[in-house]
Amino acid sequence: MIIEKLLLQVLIVLSPVLVYSVISNGKKELKFPFLMVFYAIAGVLCIVFSYQTFGLYWDLRYVIVVCAFLYGGMKTGWLVFATVMITRTIMGGDHLVFAYVCIASAAITVYFFRVKYQTVLSKWGKTLFTIVLSLVPVVVQVSIVSVLIRDDILLILDQSVLARYLFYYVTVIMIAAGFITLLHEAINEKKRMQEEIIRAEKFNTLAGLAASIAHEVRNPLTVVKGFLQLMKEEKKDSNQQYYSLVLSELGRAENIINDYLSFAKPELKSVEDVKLLENIHEILALLHPYAIKDGVHLNELIEISDHLLVRVDRNQLKQALVNFVKNAIEATPNGGNVTLVVQKSSDLVTIHISDTGKGMNKEELSRIGTLFYTTKDKGTGLGTMVSIRIIEAMRGTVSYQSKEFVGTTVSISLPIRRDETSSIHTFKDKNKQVI
Ligand code: ADP
Ligand code: MG
């Protein structure tokens, strides 16, 4: 009987992390403190469904308290601790103070060891650590029980049965604490992997852009070098006319490098109000050399004001849009067009990235955005997946329309944060310049 009850307890203890893993699904942060609520509910259930015999409650509340501190943080830990205490008080019974002492010993132990816990890196080390932390209150409990038995406060006739129960109890606590740690570590590992994929894809994009940017920077430098040589040969001070040219070419080189560096900069993750237009201009400037290299015209048709704000992570939005535009350029043959149309509709702003490229058939379209799907020799098949994930994290949507051999349009919609002035309308060909 005790075994069945304890197994039910294992299920209760594991349920917070299992449900949380489904809900979080690798997301970095959730708005609602799900873990806190799930652990608190599990704490209540543990006590409500505990096995009562010898005047004692047999349940896994300590595991809940310990793991709430370790994986939910201080706030979650103390809230779950309070919930467990209150529930235990409501349940009543003879040895309430004894119960308080044991639960408090769990909370205090984990409170003091939580920093040390973070320094353990391997998941097996952490598993062992959680098991030990969960057993500390059991040791306290057993010590108190033996004192109570010695002083005849607790009357237990068959002590061998008590010993057997204790053995089951400790074993089940160890199993539950071990499993719960492994599950939490698996969730954390998944989150880390997803961040790693986003980073890796960014470096891949950077490497791809580097060649075209180096090429673009070389052009103004060649011009500057040429003029400097001219000036040196003439040795007269009639070179005023060249100075402005030299300076403007140097400025161009500087801008290209600045754009590249601003994209390459390691980012501080922060969600803020961003002027979308500014962001788009930076992206276009960054990809301009890349389009020139492939002989593709990069056009823009912008129908939003420069005051339109979206609430996003500036760098991640840039990364996502660069991926989409880069894919469009890569799909387009020499002489083709890639056009960015930015439009506003009530509370959404939509960026359409159209290309006159090779397009995709139904089968290809259904596979886009899935992990490692690529048709390029040096492709990673990560760009689209990462970009869609980034946009969706910003509460935006991405949709594709494509016709084979005609072209593709990717539409990215984002919720507008604020837009103060009326819209302006400009059209220009960013890529008229030929080298
Ligand atoms: P990668 O660019 O490394 O191949 P992505 O995830 O960015 O990986 O893209 C996956 C695949 O989707 C590309 O290899 C390409 O076949 C297809 N694709 C993406 N965008 C377009 C587009 N605009 N036109 C045609 N095909 C595209
Ligand atoms: Mg790509």
Model pLDDT for residues 411-420, shown as the tens digit of each residue: 999 999 877 6
Q: Does ligand 1 lie within 6 Å of residue 204's CB atom?
A: no
Q: Does ligand 1 lie within 6 Å of residue 327's CB atom?
A: yes
Q: Does ligand 1 lie within 6 Å of residue 328's CB atom?
A: yes
The CA angle 8-9-10, to the nearest 5 degrees, is 90
DSSP 29-80: --SS-HHHHHHHHHHHHHHHT-EEETTEEE--HHHHHHHHHHHHHHHHHHHH
Q: Find the 314 Cα to ligand 2 centroid distance in Å.
A: 19
Q: Find the 384 Cα to ligand 2 centroid distance in Å.
A: 6
Q: Using alpha carbons, select from 179, 91, 105, 92 the residue that is nearest to residue 142.
A: 105
Top pLDDT among 260 and 75 is at 75
Q: Does ligand 1 lie within 6 Å of residue 368's CB atom?
A: yes
Q: Which atom of ligand 1 is nearest to the CA of 381?
A: 8
To which residue do tokens 């930015």 refer?
A: 342
CA distance 91 to 85: 10
Q: Find the 373 Cα to ligand 1 centroid distance in Å.
A: 8
Q: Is the pLDDT of residue 234 over 80?
A: no
CA distance 165 to 434: 84
Fold of the 209-264 domain: Helix Hairpins (1.10.287)
Domain over 271-428 is classified CATH 3.90.79.10: no
CB-based contact 322:263 (threshold 8 Å): yes
Top pLDDT among 370 and 357 is at 357
Residue with the nearest Cα to atom 14 of ligand 1?
374
CA distance 357 to 429: 18
DSSP 118: H
Q: Find the 323 Cα to ligand 2 centroid distance in Å.
A: 5
Q: Does ligand 1 lie within 6 Å of residue 384's CB atom?
A: yes
Q: Which of 9-18, 342-351, 378-387 has the lowest mean pLDDT?
A: 378-387
Q: Is the pLDDT of residue 430 over 60?
A: no
User: Residue 312 phi/psi, 5° resolution?
Assistant: -145, 175
Which sequence spans correspond to the domains of the chain?
A: 2-200, 209-264, 271-428
Q: Using alpha carbons, select from 386, 384, 391 the residue that is nearest to residue 367.
A: 384
Q: Which atom of ligand 1 is nearest to the CA of 357?
A: 24
Q: Is the pLDDT of residue 429 over 80?
A: no
CB-based contact 76:41 (threshold 8 Å): no
Q: Is the pLDDT of residue 10 over 90?
A: yes
Q: Sign (positive/negative) of CA torsion 274, 277, 281, 283?
A: positive
Q: Does ligand 1 lie within 6 Å of residue 208's CB atom?
A: no
Q: Is the pLDDT of residue 18 over 80?
A: yes
Percent of the chain with pLDDT over 90: 50
Pocket test for ligand 1, best of 202, 327, 354 (most atoms within 8 A of CB): 327
**Model confidence band, residue 231 (pLDDT cutoffs 50, 70, 90):** confident
Residue with the nearest Cα to atom 22 of ligand 1?
328
Q: Is the pLDDT of residue 305 over 80?
A: yes
CA distance 370 to 388: 10
Q: Does ligand 1 lie within 6 Å of residue 87's CB atom?
A: no
Pocket test for ligand 1, best of 322, 368, 370, 385 (most atoms within 8 A of CB): 368
Bridge partners of 275, per DSSP, are 309
Q: What is the pTM of this model?
A: 0.66
DSSP 403: E
Q: Using alpha carbons, select from 333, 337, 373 the residue that is nearest to residue 353.
A: 337
In the prediction, which pLDDT does 20 show? 92
Top pLDDT among 29 and 78 is at 78
Q: What is the mean pLDDT of residues 187-216?
A: 84
CB-based contact 12:44 (threshold 8 Å): no
Q: Is the pLDDT of residue 428 over 80?
A: no
Top pLDDT among 254 and 276 is at 276
In the prediction, which pLDDT does 230 show? 79
Task: Find the DSSP H helices in 332-426.
Answer: 362-367, 383-393
Q: Using alpha carbons, select from 144, 176, 181 the residue that is nearest to residue 61.
A: 176
The structural architecture, per CATH, of the domain 2-200 is: Orthogonal Bundle (1.10)
Top pLDDT among 88 and 27 is at 88
Residue with the nearest Cα to atom 23 of ligand 1?
328
Q: Which of 83-92, 206-215, 330-339 has the lowest mean pLDDT?
A: 206-215
CA distance 281 to 329: 16
Q: Using alpha carbons, select from 363, 357, 347, 263 the residue that is nearest to residue 308.
A: 347
In the prediction, which pLDDT does 434 show? 29
Q: Does ligand 1 lie within 6 Å of residue 183's CB atom?
A: no
Q: Is the pLDDT of residue 214 over 90?
A: no
Q: Does ligand 1 lie within 6 Å of residue 25's CB atom?
A: no
